[in-house]
């Protein structure tokens, strides 16, 4: 049996998304910058997709900039904040995605900006009292960059509270929403935020395409120089079929969002219950309460074994795809910076399981069974 439980890394493309993309791979292939009928049709398709994406999150079409994915979108947000808004200070956390934490460190060093890390609570949530203190103690133009849903432990940030705090102290607010876009509702007509990001492959769209929302009050300078595409911020011929796929994937997600949420939260709760029932001394990283946790992710701390390093390999041999951390670090010899950031016990095997609308209860049960069998074979020291 093959079971895919690494949806926080990437999701399979939905069949409807694939079908929507096919015409733009085969026949409707014009360059959107061309003035003939092929180009005009391509340009019109992009703008239709932009309107669709904007409408789904209650933004304006002019606030949506298509990118190659979440990493580029995060980088672009920092670029606009520094070069256009004149930010002199960045506040972030040590458990952000590397697209944020590494970028923040780099731009602060290169531009001689102040770099600050907000404290974390024992359960992995951002310490909002410390954030308030950090914002209050400096008059420098500040960008706060904190992710909405953590990709490894699943903790959710209260966007409204942080937004209000930032506005109170005249700070700009960027949130990496790659893990939560199309998994939660967003009303950007009500939420006062400057930048958010999305990546299609996290919600059953194609890889290599995403977007950055930039509040219309902000006018940006070019991030990629070239043509005048994407409000002049991102030169280069647009990924036409990717943009079509992104818009279609978001449309599908928001058509039945509540049913999707209930289905996946049910799977997560079921796995937590079954792991507790079948494996002694199991625990979970982060806050796993449904109201404070991303329903697609659960990070499991398993008992020490004599073959901890082989546990992911054992799962893979049995057909279960999961992760020991984020996909961005799985090729590195370093451990999870997120688990280190929350001072988790990294001497024990830690496994991230993540679910999608296509995951079934039978697949979850199979994965739990594989783990149970591994520990029953006296792998425990």
Active-site annotation, residues: 328
Q: Where are the alpha helices (DSSP H) in 69-190?
A: 70-83, 98-111, 128-136, 159-168
User: CB under 8 Å to 199, separation ≥6 — which residues?
Assistant: 69, 70, 73, 178, 181, 209, 210
Residue-wise DSSP of 42-73:
HHHHHHHHHHHHHHHTT--GGGEEEESSHHHH
Taking Cα atoms as reference points, which of 208, 177, 242 lies closest to residue 17? 242
Task: Report DSSP state, residue 138.
Answer: -
Question: Do 28 and 41 form a contact (C-beta atoms < 8 A)?
Answer: yes
Rounded-to-integer distance, Cα 132 and Cα 220, Å: 27
Handedness of CA 261, 266, 272, 278 (dihedral sign): negative
What's the burial of 98, exposed, middle or buried (CB within 10 Å: 0-12/13-18/19+)? middle
């Amino acid at each position: 049996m093959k079971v895919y439980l690494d949806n926080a890394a990437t999701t399979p493309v939905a069949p409807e998304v694939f079908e929507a993309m096919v015409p733009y791979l085969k026949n409707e292939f014009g360059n959107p910058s061309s003035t003939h009928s092929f180009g005009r049709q391509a340009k019109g398709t992009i703008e239709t997709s932009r309107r669709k994406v904007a409408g789904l999150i209650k933004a304006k079409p002019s606030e949506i900039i298509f990118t190659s994915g979440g990493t580029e979108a995060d980088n672009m947000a920092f670029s606009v904040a520094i070069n256009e808004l004149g930010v002199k200070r960045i506040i972030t956390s040590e458990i952000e995605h590397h697209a944020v934490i590494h970028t923040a460190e780099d731009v602060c060093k290169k531009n001689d900006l102040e770099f600050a890390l907000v404290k974390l609570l024992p359960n992995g949530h951002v310490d909002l009292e410390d954030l308030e203190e950090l914002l209050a103690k400096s008059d420098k133009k500040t960008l706060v960059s904190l992710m909405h849903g953590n990709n490894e432990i699943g903790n959710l940030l209260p966007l409204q509270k942080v937004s209000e705090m930032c506005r109170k102290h005249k700070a700009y607010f960027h949130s990496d929403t790659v893990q939560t876009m199309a998994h939660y509702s967003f009303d950007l007509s009500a939420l006062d935020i400057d930048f958010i990001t999305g990546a299609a492959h996290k919600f059953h769209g194609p890889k290599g395409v995403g977007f950055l929302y930039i509040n219309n009050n902000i006018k940006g300078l070019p991030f990629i120089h070239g043509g005048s595409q994407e409000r002049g911020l991102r030169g280069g011929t647009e990924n036409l079929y990717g943009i079509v796929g992104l818009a279609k994937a978001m449309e599908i997600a928001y058509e039945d969002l509540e049913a999707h949420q209930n289905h996946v939260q049910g799977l997560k709760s079921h796995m937590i219950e079954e792991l507790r029932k079948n494996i002694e001394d199991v625990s979970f990283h982060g806050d796993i309460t449904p109201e404070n946790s991303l329903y697609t992710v659960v990070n499991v701390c398993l008992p020490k074994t004599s073959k901890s390093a082989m546990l992911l390999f054992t799962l893979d041999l049995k057909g279960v795809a999961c992760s020991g951390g984020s996909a961005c670090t799985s090729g590195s010899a370093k451990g999870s910076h997120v688990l280190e950031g929350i001072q988790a016990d990294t001497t024990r095997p830690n496994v991230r399981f993540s679910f999608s609308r296509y995951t079934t209860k039978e697949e979850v049960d199979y994965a739990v069974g594989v783990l149970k069998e591994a520990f029953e074979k006296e792998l425990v020291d």
